[in-house]
Amino acid sequence: MDKYSDFFSSRVDSLKAIQIRGLIIQGLDLGENEASLPSMLVYDCGNIMTLSRKLFDLRMGSESQTEDELALMSDMIQQYSVLPESQSLAS
């Protein structure tokens, strides 16, 4: 798994995502921003690079430039949608 690998594709399920969040809370000093970590932080970020950027920004008390949500959704649709070839109904 590299820093850009998608957590979902890497078989990180919801239980693992919550466990990772718990380890983050225990192991990192996020200042007073710890309470603002969503329960599905790992899935929300998608990969290690985005997660690390989010945690850094929380620690520093700043907000990073967020990606356009529509572009992100479009990318996810392209990545995870595999449609079968159209079959003729008139056989």
pLDDT tens-digit series, residues 15-37 = 998 999 999 989 988 877 777 78
The contacts of residue 22 (CB under 8 Å, 6+ apart) are none
Q: In sequence order, what DSSP letters do the residues of 26-90 get, joined into one string?
A: HH---GGGGGG--TTHHHHH-SHHHHHHHHHHHHHT--PPPPPHHHHHHHHHHHH--PPPP--S-
pLDDT at 23: 93
Q: Are 57 and 49 in contact (CB under 8 A)?
A: no
Q: What does each of the 91 residues of the chain score in pLDDT, given as a tens digit?
A: 788 888 888 888 889 989 999 999 899 888 777 777 888 888 888 889 999 988 888 888 776 555 556 677 778 788 888 766 665 555 5
Model's pTM, two decimal places? 0.63
pLDDT at 89: 55
Structure tokens belonging to residue 24:
């983050």
